[in-house]
Amino acid sequence: MVRVLIGDFQLSGGDPARGVKQWVATYMKDLDYHGKTVFVSGGTSGINLGIAEAFSAAGANLAVLSRSQEKVDAAVARLKDCGSDAIGFSADVRDFAGVEASLKEAHKVFGEIDVLISGAAGNFPAPVLGMSANGFKSVVDIDLLGTFNVLRAGHAYLKKPGSAIINISAPQAYVATPLQAHVCAAKAGVDMLTRVLALEWGDQGIRVNSIVPGPIAGTEGMARLAPSETAQAAVAESVPMKRMGSVDDVAKVALVLASPLAGFINGAVVPVDGGWSLTGFGALMNTLAGQFVSSSR
Ligand code: COA
Ligand code: NAP
């Protein structure tokens, strides 16, 4: 008789379907986020807001943070429409004190944070000779120092054991890309933070992973890098799946990665890019360079 053990369930040669149905039904409940708290930095627009909405629709209480109070208010209203409770904070991820105060307040309102997502980022296309030291620093500070701040301040308020951190990275972290030196350097650093903290915090029951979205349609990031219909079509064509991704493509992976379904995934950098980063799309940026009105504003 064939006997297969999956988790706590035994599939016996006699009735495999019954065993696997029980196993799947039990673990699908892991995607129910009722009673959980999710904090998303940069969660007021684009991909990060889409991720926040997905967690909200799955039952979680949401806290979002970004600079613009107007965007924060609009995001909180949308998240409440998804069915769960939501709060928001106006703060700059470059300011440790502001980030820490927001996390502390979120913890006070909702309790321990189950899922912490660092997604705030800045980008503009410019060659190294077209950006000042401050331009380079701005992006590195938002993406990399900002992620450090969110994770460093957030650690005190995380559920331990049993929480998950997701850093939102970018293919530039490992695909050298012209006009993107600041983003390449910053996001490579973000992925290294993911890996180091997976080691430092793994024994506390905190999993730390990166999600790497490919080109995502309808987002600020793509509007900046491919600012015309022609450029967007060229980007879509360069993806092996011949389309840009959607915000939902990324949000679905975040729901799984933060859940016990991914309970043994730690320190991973997970592309959600239709295979884009396999193509060495960096050269495409040279082709698109003519699309930008000016490299220095
Ligand atoms: N080319 C070259 N340099 C640029 C630039 C461009 N297109 N846009 C901004 N800079 C430079 C500025 O000139 C400035 O340098 P300087 O002081 O030497 O002149 C530096 O970047 C900072 O600009 P500032 O507007 O003061 O920064 P900020 O902190 O207010 O904003 C940015 C940060 C520049 C990243 C801004 O684009 C932003 O807020 N982005 C968030 C949204 C976003 O990028 N979404 C996509 C995410 S993928
Ligand atoms: P977006 O809509 O511009 O989102 C960026 C968010 O970060 C906004 O909520 C913004 O709000 C906030 N933010 C920016 N600077 C901040 C700061 N200093 N402090 C606090 N919050 C700040 O961009 P997006 O295109 O959806 O990108 C979202 C994430 O996905 C980013 O991490 C990006 O690198 C990554 N990504 C995007 C793509 C893509 O195709 N779009 C591809 C790969 C990776 P405020 O303006 O109110 O601060």
Model confidence pLDDT, tens digit, residues 162-197:
999 999 999 999 999 999 999 999 999 999 999 999
Name the residue with the closest Cα to ligand 1, atom 39. Answer: 122
Q: Determine if ligand 1 sits within 6 Å of the CB of residue 134.
A: yes
93: DSSP letter:
T
Handedness of CA 39, 73, 226, 216 (dihedral sign): positive
Q: DSSP assignment, residue 160? A: T
**Residue that is written with structure tokens 């107007």 in the block:** 70
What are the residues facing 40 on neighbouring strands? 64, 117
Q: How far apart are CA 1 and CA 47, in angstroms?
A: 49
| C-alpha to C-alpha distance for 89 and 79, rounded to whole angstroms | 14
Please tell me the number of the ligand nearest to residue 226's CA: 2
- What confidence score (pLDDT) does residue 64 get? 98
Q: Are 247 and 189 in contact (CB under 8 A)?
A: no
Check if 79 has its Cβ closer than 6 Å to any atom of ligand 2.
no
Q: Using omega within 30 degrees of 0 as the cis cutoff, is the peptide bond preceding 161 cis?
A: yes
155 ligand 2 Cβ < 6 A: no
Q: What residue's CA is closest to ligand 1, atom 2?
A: 296
Residue 125 pLDDT: 97
| pTM for the whole structure | 0.94
- Which ligand approaches the C-alpha of residue 68 most closely? 2
Can you give the pLDDT at residue 2? 47
Please name which of 136, 143, 126, 297 lies closest in space to residue 225, comparing C-alpha atoms: 126
| CB 287 less than 6 A from any atom of ligand 1 | no
Q: Is 77 helix (H, G, I), strand (E, B) or coil?
A: helix
Q: Is the CB of 118 under 6 A from ligand 2?
A: no
Rounded to whole angstroms, the Cα distance separating 23 from 12 reads: 13
User: Can you give the pLDDT at residue 14?
Assistant: 59
Query: So what's the pLDDT on residue 282?
Result: 73
pLDDT at 293: 55
Which residue among 40, 41, 47 is best mutated to probe the pocket of ligand 2, counting the most ligand atoms within 8 A of its Cβ?
Answer: 47
The residues that bridge with 272 in the sheet, in sequence order, are: 213
- At 22 the pLDDT is 86
The rounded distance, in Å, linking the Cα atoms of 120 and 53 is: 16
Strand pairing category for 9-12 and 61-66: unpaired
Sequence-distant (≥ 6) Cβ neighbours of residue 83 within 8 angstroms: 56, 57, 59
CB contact at 8 A, 226 and 234: yes
Tell me, in angstroms, the distance from the centre of ligand 1 to residue 125's CA: 10
- The pLDDT value recorded for residue 206 is 99
> What is the Å distance from ligand 2's center to 293 Cα?
22
Nearest to 142 by CA among 187, 203, 104: 187
DSSP code for 22: H
**Domains of the chain as residue ranges with CATH:** 34-291 (3.40.50.720)
Choose which residue among 39, 211, 220 to substitute to test ligand 2 binding: the one with the highest number of ligand atoms within 8 A of its C-beta. Answer: 220
* Ligand in nearest proximity to the CA of 47: 2
Could you tell me if the CB of 225 is within 6 A of ligand 2? no
Provide the token pair at 209. 């992973």
Q: How many helices (H) and strands (E) does the chain have?
A: 11, 9
Q: Return the H-helix or E-strand segment holding 68.
A: none
139 lines ligand 1 (CB under 6 A): yes
DSSP 90: E
Query: Which segments in the chain show pLDDT lower than 70?
Result: 1-14, 16, 293-297
Ligand 2 pocket, 220 CB below 6 A? yes
